[in-house]
Amino acid sequence: MNEDPKIINDTDKPLNQENIQPQKVDINVLKARAKELQDKENFRNAIFVVLALIILASAGVYFST
């Protein structure tokens, strides 16, 4: 019995030029991804600003009395 594993590298396989095709990128998909990331960032920033204003307002009320 031969128990040596048969290892096949990418260099052992011949190149198949028919399967290699340049992938096309749709600009609308890229714009949608960028807009989604921007919307998430804007939402986080809005939450941060609102929380900061609430903290400042509550500190102002606390120290004014």
DSSP state string for 4-44: ------TTTSPP-TTT--PPP--HHHHHHHHHHHHHHHHHH
CB atoms under 10 Å from CB of 25, counted, come to 8
Please say if the pLDDT value at position 14 is more than 80.
Answer: no
**Greatest C-alpha distance within the chain:** 91
pLDDT tens figures, 23-51: 888 899 999 999 999 999 999 999 999 99
Q: Can you give the residue ranges of every domain in the chain?
A: 25-65
| Of 52, 49, 51, the residue nearest 41 (C-alpha) | 49
pTM for this entry: 0.53
